[in-house]
Amino acid sequence: MKYGYFDDAAREYVITTPKTPLPWINYLGNKEFFSLISNTCGGYSFYKDAKLLRLTRYRYNNVPYDNNGKYFYVKDRNRNTVWNPGWQPVKTELDSYECRHGLGYSRFTSLKDGIEAELLSFVPMEDNCEISSITLTNKGDTSAELSLFSYVEWCLWNADDDMKNFQRNLSTGEVEVSGEGSVIFHKTEYRERRNHYAILGVNSKVNGFDTSRDAFLGAYNGPDHPDAVVNGKCTGSMASGWSPIASQQIDLSLAPGKSRTFIFTLGYIENEENDKWEAPSVINKKKAFEMLSRYDSEDKVEKAFEELRAYWNELLGIYHVSSENEKVDRMVNIWNQYQCMVTFNMSRSASYYESGIGRGMGFRDSCQDLLGFVHLIPDRARQRIIDIASTQFPDGSAYHQYQPLTKKGNSDIGSGFNDDPLWLIAGTSAYVRETGDLSILSESVPFDNDMTTAQSLMNHLQRSFNFTATHKGPHGLPLIGRADWNDCLNLNCFSEHPGESFQTFGPSEGPVAESVFIAGMFVKYGEEYAQLAELLHDNAEAERARAEVKKVYDAVLEYGWDGDWFLRAYDAESKKVGSKECEEGQIYIEPQGFCTLAGIGVKEGLAEKALKSVEEKLDTKYGVMILQPAYTKYHLELGEVSSYPPGYKENGGIFCHNNPWVSIAETVLGHGDRAFDIYKKTCPAFIEDISEVHCTEPYVYSQMVAGRDAKFFGQGKNSWLTGTAAWTFVNVSQYILGVYPTHKGLSIDPCVPEDFGDFTLTRKFRGGVYRINVHTNGSQKGVKKLTVNGVVCEGNVIPFDAAVKEYDVVVEM
């Protein structure tokens, strides 16, 4: 069952009922001001940091789903009805409803009793505000008497403290109002240590306003029944403590066929320390009025909206495919890349599953996300790499996350995850392969944000590499530390008491427990490190690196192979994890995918066997499960992985993030049919038809789909902020469609199903435009002939030549 459809020409997903199985959301904002917005107008806004600078309040663990939001109420005074363009919070049945989630904007069109509301929300490219332009049209044949009410509830900035510290916070709220209510200023804590305030303004005279939540809603009421709206009259309340809000009331008469548009601006304003006040206790509003004047007409809003569209046109022109499969095209050209950009902006901080007050920018996560957006925004990716590397410790290890506002690392969600250091090599290598910009390697970058310790980025990578090379266990395999990519494989944790976080409890490292997965990473990224050393003409270092890699490669073959698949790990007592000798959790997906894509066991025939085992033991109709059999008991020696009920999350869920590893691994072996089959199973556009099973948004990936052992097999969770976005894009763009950036130039080596048909691809790369025509000739893999601008090219790599700007490429497979 579907709840909408893709409009590819408009690059929108069109939701045709507000009653989706879960809130289906979108992200507004590209730089510093962001909003989450759902298909019922739920969501919230923040500036830079979802925890520390939250503008509007959201209610967690909400019932009904998805409140708070930024709401508009339409009151029809003749009929005495109240409704919302996004259906919530009043939930009056609408005569028609449509929500179009587009790239950085959402548009709602609803009709009730002949009155149409069209609401467009977006964040302009270069401003710290969200624009909501709402047009009311009388489509009926009698004159309409309407009142429009806006409503946002302010968050007292620190979203974490806002939910806890009531003894203080219920006394700090302060507001100002100007223009008889057309601009409402939220200035809590501005009198003391803050130099910022928030505004909600409208480009029109108003007939009333409220700034106190209790006055607007009435005691014991929710936003589904605001007294002010029901009574048709705001009260002019001035909040003092308690819960400040902003609501404006505009009364209007609309003759049949007539429309009126109102532009609301929700903004964040920062003043210089010495320019905070215009009079004692009166905030300096200059910048706020300047902001409002930038959007006070429909023309100005239209222009800002066009800039946003132009931005996305430009970005999505960088990698564009035209194939015989419209689902592949819409994911590759639109939604997968869009999701990659959202993970660039949010990392794992703010979604409907990440509260924005828990996790910040993950070290591992952000490095991997980079793989998916580096081609889109190389300059910002460069800065991101420097920011991440600046939080690294001198011994090469890393904080697991940093806060976007401060850019400083913290251990709030643990540290000592021994895969972290190697992801820095992965991200940097991807950046250099994409851009050819070697200068980043000599950038001076601090450790733990202490500038006095700064060394070159290449030195950071060397410490990453050496960290793994010098932290090995009894089998010569890398020590796992607190965990590796699988945060829940806590082999040194031994947590016995409820409430202890598996991510922070216990020692961060043990001397015995080893990870075969990190071994796979070391082989892959160790080689990429060696290539970077060569580019810097340090052949001795490249040679040393390759020798270290060889040792780990051999250790995997000797101690990391279980007969039919790769082992997962050795625990703190050196017992096997992910082995047929285990009672539960006999096979894990991660080493099968990653060791194979790193090339381990390919020539020895082990990789082929490992992937067969994956197909036999882990595959399902909804994707490949992370492990089997799922743990039915809590294993003290394994930690969080065995804490989830079977089939959920790391305990046997379909963890979408590592499905592409297996798909890539299949392409390494030349199995185009199988690689594509795996790709399709978790790909949102391919499972749109079962949205009632999948439940999460059909236009983006979720972190997890419940596995076969779970009651709700096939149900998605944790949509949007997942490394799945980057890895599936890497898989489909670089391995399946086969356009992979190398240091020397683009390599072309597609691996597709036999019946995939021909395809054409445009790829912008280091200032050149590549138009690539692929004739698959019913083959799954193998390029027989490659011509570039009419000249036959030896091998698969199109040599990069800065002087050539246009490349017409013809590929015969």
413 binds, among ligand BGC, ligand NOJ, none (CB under 5 to 8 A by kind): ligand BGC
213 binds, among ligand NOJ, ligand BGC, none (CB under 5 to 8 A by kind): none
Q: Give the bridge partners for 791, in sequence order.
A: 788
Nearer to ligand NOJ among residue 348 and residue 463 (C-beta)? 348
515 binds ligand NOJ (CB under 6 A): no
413 binds ligand BGC (CB under 6 A): yes
Contact between residue 748 and residue 781 where contact means Cβ atoms under 8 Å apart: no
Residue 711 beta carbon to ligand BGC: minimum distance, rounded to whole angstroms: 18
Residue 653 beta carbon to ligand NOJ: minimum distance, rounded to whole angstroms: 10
Contact between residue 518 and residue 418 where contact means Cβ atoms under 8 Å apart: yes
503 binds ligand BGC (CB under 6 A): yes
Q: Which residues contact 289 (CB under 8 A, 6 or more apart)?
A: 183
Nearer to ligand BGC among residue 414 and residue 672 (C-beta)? 414
364 binds, among ligand NOJ, ligand BGC, none (CB under 5 to 8 A by kind): ligand NOJ
Residue 431 beta carbon to ligand BGC: minimum distance, rounded to whole angstroms: 24
Tokens of 690: 């079962």
Q: Which residues contact 640 (CB under 8 A, 6 or more apart)?
A: 487, 488, 489, 490, 493, 502, 503, 650
Burial class (CB in 10 A: 0-12, 13-18, 19+), 358: middle
How far are the Cα atoms of 67, 84, 346, 797 from residue 228, in angstroms, in the given order? 19, 15, 36, 67
- With tokens 């029944």, the residue in question is 225
The DSSP letter of residue 688 is G
- Residue 290, number of CB atoms within 10 A of its CB: 10
98 binds ligand NOJ (CB under 6 A): no
The DSSP letter of residue 93 is P
Say how far apart CA 224 and CA 435 lie, in whole Å. Answer: 52
485 binds ligand NOJ (CB under 6 A): yes
463: left (phi over 0), alpha (psi -120 to 50) or beta: alpha
One-letter identity of residue 740:
Y
Give the distance from CA 800 to its chain's centroid.
32
* CA geometry: angle 760, 766, 772, nearest 5 deg: 15
Residue 764 beta carbon to ligand BGC: minimum distance, rounded to whole angstroms: 34
- Collapsed DSSP state (helix, strand, coil) of residue 717: strand
Among 457, 469, 488, 519, the residue binding ligand BGC under the rule CB under 6 A is 488
Give the distance from CA 368 to its chain's centroid.
11
Q: Which of 55, 54, 60, 26 is nearest to 40 (CA)?
A: 26
Residue 503 beta carbon to ligand BGC: minimum distance, rounded to whole angstroms: 5
Contact between residue 553 and residue 476 where contact means Cβ atoms under 8 Å apart: no
503 binds, among ligand NOJ, ligand BGC, none (CB under 5 to 8 A by kind): ligand BGC
Residue 704 beta carbon to ligand NOJ: minimum distance, rounded to whole angstroms: 9
Among 42, 69, 362, 623, the residue binding ligand NOJ under the rule CB under 6 A is 362
Among 118, 174, 419, 650, the residue binding ligand BGC under the rule CB under 6 A is 650
Among 116, 420, 487, 562, the residue binding ligand NOJ under the rule CB under 6 A is 487
Active-site residue flag, 299: no
**Of the listed 162, 365, 419, 487, which one is catalytic?**
487
Binders of ligand NOJ: how many residues, by CB under 6 A?
Answer: 9
Nearer to ligand BGC among residue 400 and residue 674 (C-beta)? 400
Residue 183 beta carbon to ligand BGC: minimum distance, rounded to whole angstroms: 41
Stretch that binds ligand NOJ, among 238-246, 362-370, 534-542, 566-574 (CB under 6 A): 362-370
Say how far apart CA 252 and CA 148 lie, in whole Å. Answer: 8
Stretch that binds ligand NOJ, among 360-368, 383-391, 426-434, 767-775 (CB under 6 A): 360-368
Among 100, 187, 294, 348, the residue binding ligand NOJ under the rule CB under 6 A is 348
Among 487, 528, 541, 562, the residue binding ligand BGC under the rule CB under 6 A is 487
488 binds ligand NOJ (CB under 6 A): yes
Q: What is the largest CA-CA distance in the chain?
A: 84
Say how far apart CA 133 and CA 111 lie, in whole Å. Answer: 16
Strand order across the 129-138 sheet: 4-7, 12-15, 96-102, 105-112, 115-122, 129-138, 259-270, 196-202, 183-186, 175-178
Residue 727 beta carbon to ligand BGC: minimum distance, rounded to whole angstroms: 15
Among 650, 688, 697, 709, the residue binding ligand NOJ under the rule CB under 6 A is 650
Among 330, 364, 382, 433, the residue binding ligand NOJ under the rule CB under 6 A is 364
Tokens of 578: 């992910």
Residue 570 beta carbon to ligand NOJ: minimum distance, rounded to whole angstroms: 19
753 binds, among ligand NOJ, ligand BGC, none (CB under 5 to 8 A by kind): none
420 binds ligand BGC (CB under 6 A): no
486 binds ligand NOJ (CB under 6 A): yes
369 binds ligand NOJ (CB under 6 A): no
649 binds ligand BGC (CB under 6 A): yes
Stretch that binds ligand NOJ, among 408-416, 426-434, 482-490, 533-541 (CB under 6 A): 482-490
Q: Give the bridge partners for 798, in sequence order.
A: 746
Residue nearest to ligand BGC (CB): 487
Contact between residue 115 and residue 145 where contact means Cβ atoms under 8 Å apart: no
486 binds, among ligand BGC, ligand NOJ, none (CB under 5 to 8 A by kind): ligand NOJ
Give the distance from CA 664 to its chain's centroid.
21
- Residue 274, number of CB atoms within 10 A of its CB: 7
Say how far apart CA 535 and CA 551 lie, in whole Å. Answer: 23
709 binds, among ligand BGC, ligand NOJ, none (CB under 5 to 8 A by kind): none
485 binds, among ligand BGC, ligand NOJ, none (CB under 5 to 8 A by kind): ligand NOJ
Nearer to ligand NOJ among residue 235 and residue 486 (C-beta)? 486
**ω into residue 68 within 30 of 0, thus cis?**
yes
- Computed over its alpha carbons, how large is the radius of gyration of the chain? 28
528 binds ligand BGC (CB under 6 A): no
Q: What share of the chain is helix, strand, coil (3-state, %, to 5)?
A: 30, 30, 40
Residue 381 beta carbon to ligand BGC: minimum distance, rounded to whole angstroms: 23
Residue 640 beta carbon to ligand BGC: minimum distance, rounded to whole angstroms: 6
Stretch that binds ligand NOJ, among 18-26, 55-63, 75-83, 481-489 (CB under 6 A): 481-489
Nearer to ligand BGC among residue 337 and residue 490 (C-beta)? 490
Tokens of 203: 């480009």
- Collapsed DSSP state (helix, strand, coil) of residue 503: coil
Q: Which residues bind ligand BGC (CB under 6 A)?
A: 413, 487-488, 503, 640, 649-650
Active-site residue numbers?
487
Q: Which residues bind ligand NOJ (CB under 6 A)?
A: 348, 362, 364-365, 485-488, 650
